[in-house]
Amino acid sequence: MFVAAAHAPGGDPFGLAGRQGQYAWLVGVADVDGDDVLPGGGVVGLFAGVGGSLEGVGLGGPALGRGVPGEAHEGVFVGAFSKVVSGYVGDPTIVFQAVLATMVAFFATLGAYKFFNIQVTDKFRKVVTISMFAFVGVMLVNFVLSITGVLESGGLRGMTGLGLVVSAIAVVLAVFMLIMDFDFVERGVEAGLPERESWRAAFGLTVTLVWLYIEILRILAILRGQD
């Protein structure tokens, strides 16, 4: 089921994002100076990825052509962010550790979903969706207050104990989103949706995995900073 979603006609969003991430790492889109933890190139990749993502899930025609830019720019952002964080802690192996932890979380969630027969009810979907919107809303407010100088050191997203708690909450939300992604794929297969729709399923999984990876990387970086 999930293999089919990851190998949609015309390409693989997991591989595309990964290749772009490697490119961003290799070209080094930013210098690591002091507290600069988000490079300019990474910011461009982030917002371009968001734009491509919104377009990629739009209605009207296959999603493949519109989803590719979002995956590519997501990869650029992830690669840039990873390089800066590894420089921040002074240990490139932190990226491998974050990738390994993300894969463990993915397969553990998948195993729990299948073996414990987790049911995604309407109530579950509603609670997770509302929680996601609430989390994103709070993060947007935090972002605005941080760049305007009202909050120092990134506020809720700083490399502090509070930032650790927020990232832990984000990981829990990302795991719930993975469960919803698995349910979407399973329902799509059962309903016999067109094969091109597998790109949408793989796209959703990729977005969730990218978010999960970023939050795990942040947690590891904060823990390293507290040693």
Average pLDDT estimate for 187-203: 74
* Domain segments of the chain as ranges: 2-225
Q: Coil, helix or strand for 119?
A: coil
What residues contact 72, with CB distance under 8 A and at least 6 apart? 16, 17, 20, 49, 52
Average pLDDT value over all residues in the chain: 73
Cα–Cα nearest to 67, from 197, 184, 213: 197
d(CA 183, CA 43): 32
Please say whether the dihedral angle defined by the alpha carbons of residues 168, 141, 132 and 51, taken in this order, is positive or negative. Answer: negative
pLDDT recorded at residue 141 = 94
Q: Where are the beta strands (DSSP E) in 84-201?
A: none
69: left (phi over 0), alpha (psi -120 to 50) or beta: alpha
pLDDT tens-digit series, residues 27-85? 443 344 434 444 444 444 444 444 444 444 443 344 444 444 445 555 667 777 788 88
pLDDT tens-digit series, residues 76-114? 677 777 888 888 888 888 888 988 999 999 999 999 998
